[in-house]
Amino acid sequence: MNIALIGSGGREHALCHKLFESSIVNKIYCIPGNAGTNSIAKNLNIDFLNFNRLLSVIKLYNIDLVVVGPELPLVKGIVDFLRKNKIKVFGPDKYAAQLEGSKAFMKYLCKKNKIPTAGFKICKNKKDINIFLAQHKMPIVVKADGLASGKGVVICYSKKEVEKFSNEIFLGKFKSSKKLVLEEFLEGEEVSYFLIVDKKRFSFIGSAQDHKRVGENETGPNTGGMGAYSPAPVINKDLEKKIIKNIVEPTLKALRERNHSYTGFLYVGLMIKNNDPYLIEYNVRMGDPECQVILPRLKTDLGKLLKASVENKLNKIKIKWSESKCMSIVLCSKGYPNRQIVNKKIDLRQIKLTNKSFIFHASTKIKNGLFFSNGGRVLNIVVLGNTFLKIRNQIIKIIKIINWKFGFFRKDIGWRVINKR
Ligand code: AMP
Ligand code: GLY
């Protein structure tokens, strides 16, 4: 089958790499892709939010399955549009994508179905804010309701901070919504739990932990993710049962009852406290960089798996995993996540990869056969191995060989699982 893969980040390069290995995948078209996908697929420089243009390209290239990487097209209804036009597509519809697209939608769904999550109030004005402030202690988490490219959440330690950030949201700082959610602060260990879902059932597709802060020792501003590792040892059998029974099943049942059965990847963002899971967020896609550390461990043919999901035959596939552990460190452009330098040459010719090491491109482009940086997160250096410490050392060795003077990275990725040993 021919695949159109929507997106251009490290997640999409990892998906593309795995689909390239699939025995049932013929051609892959990345829309728009990056310099990494360019070497194994055909990149098409098309605005994927222009759905009509996208449809004509899908028809032109005889695409059998569209795989959607990022959240924005899902939240904007790409799945509904393509399905209406009889195109097979992997991902949730617009209604179900509100799990990520609207924090208010997600929190109401939790409340109605008794899903464990932080106490909250949806606020539309100052009066709402004051009611919540009078009833709760600091810290308080302020969240913009709509998509905000990772910039919509602030943990506040004073009333003043809550008022300031809330005011900015009410005044329209984020175009997607002027509502916000105030939440109690949950203490614990954060972990991401992934599922692949069809209309009738779901299968586990990995656990991971990522590092969102830009600086070592979890300091500095939040980023899209500076590195990740899989599996996450904090997940045990007992916890997994609770995640499924208390969080996943009631969510999928609620959507089914509203005639919007979920399909696609589901990213369950959790806080674990005293071996009990609390839902922090849903994302309606794979994580980035979590995808880059989960897929190298997957032994099952990804093409077959995605096909089974869109045909509601996930029960026919037993998902197999490598015993190895996997880690990714992201090589970023200096200045990220504020104002990073871009368009700098990056030379990978000295790098010799094995079947246990990978470079997944994120923001790169190709000019005259050479790689150039094109954004904040540039490359994911990914290694499979037996211990996280050895893996991390190997990744750092590769980064030293790349020796990119315009970049930086965190040397402490995986500290939680390495320091414990
Ligand atoms: P979200 O976009 O909802 O995932 O929030 C971004 C990040 O903020 C999460 O990954 C957590 O690290 C943190 N966070 C969000 N909500 C809470 C909460 N209620 N308590 C503690 N930390 C939170
Ligand atoms: N790494 C966090 C995310 O993909 O949302």
Please work out whether the CB of residue 71 comes within 6 Å of at least one atom of ligand 2.
Answer: no
- Distance of alpha carbon 284 from alpha carbon 266, whole angstroms: 5
Evaluate the CA torsion angle 49, 28, 36, 320 in order and state its sign: positive
Q: Minimal CA–CA distance to 9: which of 40, 33, 26, 30? A: 33
Alpha helix ranges (H) inside 21-155? 51-60, 71-75, 78-84, 98-101, 103-112, 126-135
Residue 204 has pLDDT above 50, yes or no: yes
State how far the alpha carbon of 84 is from the alpha carbons of 52, 160, 299, in Å: 12, 48, 33
Q: Minimal CA–CA distance to 211: which of 191, 186, 194, 233? A: 191
Task: Read off φ and ψ for residue 128, nearest 5 degrees.
Answer: -60, -45
Token couple for 253: 């049942």
- Distance of alpha carbon 124 from alpha carbon 180, whole angstroms: 7
Please work out whether the CB of residue 79 comes within 6 Å of at least one atom of ligand 1.
Answer: no
- Distance of alpha carbon 288 from alpha carbon 338, whole angstroms: 19
Q: What is the pLDDT of residue 241?
A: 98
Question: Among 36-50, 89-103, 150-164, where is mean pLDDT lowest?
Answer: 150-164
| Top-tier CATH class for 119-184 | alpha beta
Amino acid symbol at 263:
T
Cβ atoms < 10 Å from Cβ of 116: 17
Tell me how far the alpha carbon of residue 70 lies from the centroid of ligand 2, in angstroms: 10
The conformation of residue 298, written as its DSSP 8-state character, comes to B
Residues in CB range of 237: below 8 A, 6 or more apart: none
| Averaged confidence pLDDT in the chain | 96
pLDDT tens digits, residue range 117-128?
A: 999 999 999 999
Percentage of the chain exceeding pLDDT 90? 96
Strands across the sheet with 153-156, in order?
Answer: 120-123, 180-184, 140-144, 153-156
- Distance of alpha carbon 119 from alpha carbon 140, whole angstroms: 10
Residue 360 has pLDDT above 90, yes or no: yes
Please work out whether the CB of residue 290 comes within 6 Å of at least one atom of ligand 2.
Answer: yes
This prediction's pTM: 0.97
The single residue listed with the structure tokens 């806080």 is: 271
Please work out whether the CB of residue 145 comes within 6 Å of at least one atom of ligand 2.
Answer: no
Please work out whether the CB of residue 216 comes within 6 Å of at least one atom of ligand 1.
Answer: no
- Distance of alpha carbon 2 from alpha carbon 353, whole angstroms: 27
Domain 325-419 has CATH 3.90.600.10: yes
- Distance of alpha carbon 136 from alpha carbon 186, whole angstroms: 13
Please work out whether the CB of residue 213 comes within 6 Å of at least one atom of ligand 1.
Answer: no
Residue 410 has pLDDT above 70, yes or no: yes
The conformation of residue 132, written as its DSSP 8-state character, comes to H
Q: Could you tell me where the beta strands, DSSP code E, fall in 140-242?
A: 140-144, 153-156, 180-184, 189-197, 202-210, 213-215, 219-222, 227-230
Q: What is the pLDDT of residue 420?
A: 58
Banded model confidence at residue 339, pLDDT cuts 50, 70, 90? confident
Q: What is the pLDDT of residue 264?
A: 98
Given ligand 2 and candidates 99, 190, 192, which is best to mutate, with the most ligand atoms within 8 Å of its CB?
192
| β-pair partners for 29 | 4, 42
The single residue listed with the structure tokens 């360019």 is: 38
Burial of 190 (0-12, 13-18, 19+ CB in 10 A): middle
Q: Which atom of ligand 2 is nearest to the CA of 287?
A: 4
Residues in CB range of 233: below 8 A, 6 or more apart: 417
Percentage of the chain exceeding pLDDT 70? 100
Residue 403 has pLDDT above 70, yes or no: yes
Question: Among 3-7, 82-86, 144-148, where is mean pLDDT lowest?
Answer: 144-148
Task: Read off φ and ψ for residue 66, nearest 5 degrees.
Answer: -105, 130
| Top-tier CATH class for 2-93 | alpha beta
Please work out whether the CB of residue 64 comes within 6 Å of at least one atom of ligand 2.
Answer: no
Instruction: Find the helix or strand (DSSP H, E) in which 309 lies.
Output: helix 302-310
Query: By alpha-carbon position, which residue is closest to atom 3 of ligand 2?
Result: 287
- Distance of alpha carbon 205 from alpha carbon 418, whole angstroms: 23
Q: Which atom of ligand 1 is nearest to the CA of 152?
A: 2
Architecture of domain 189-316: 2-Layer Sandwich (3.30)
Residues in CB range of 122: below 8 A, 6 or more apart: 104, 107, 108, 128, 145, 179, 180, 181
CA 29 to chain centre: 21
Domain residue ranges of the chain, discontinuous segments joined by +: 2-93, 119-184, 189-316, 325-419
| β-pair partners for 184 | 140
Starting from the CA of residue 377, give the closest ligand: 2
Given ligand 2 and candidates 75, 207, 210, which is best to mutate, with the most ligand atoms within 8 Å of its CB?
210
Amino acid symbol at 61:
Y
Q: Which atom of ligand 1 is nearest to the CA of 117?
A: 19
Banded model confidence at residue 421, pLDDT cuts 50, 70, 90? very low
Residue 202 has pLDDT above 60, yes or no: yes
Starting from the CA of residue 139, give the closest ligand: 1
pLDDT tens digits, residue range 379-392?
A: 999 999 999 999 99
Tell me how far the alpha carbon of residue 414 lies from the centroid of ligand 1, in angstroms: 19
Q: Which atom of ligand 1 is nearest to the CA of 190?
A: 12
Q: What is the pLDDT of residue 175?
A: 87
pLDDT tens digits, residue range 144-187?
A: 999 988 889 999 999 999 999 999 999 999 988 899 999 999 99
Alpha helix ranges (H) inside 171-236? none
Evaluate the CA torsion angle 28, 29, 32, 35 in order and state its sign: positive
Tell me how far the alpha carbon of residue 153 lies from the centroid of ligand 1, in angstroms: 7
Q: Parallel, antiparallel, or unpaired for β 65-68 and 3-7?
A: parallel
- Distance of alpha carbon 94 from alpha carbon 71, whole angstroms: 10
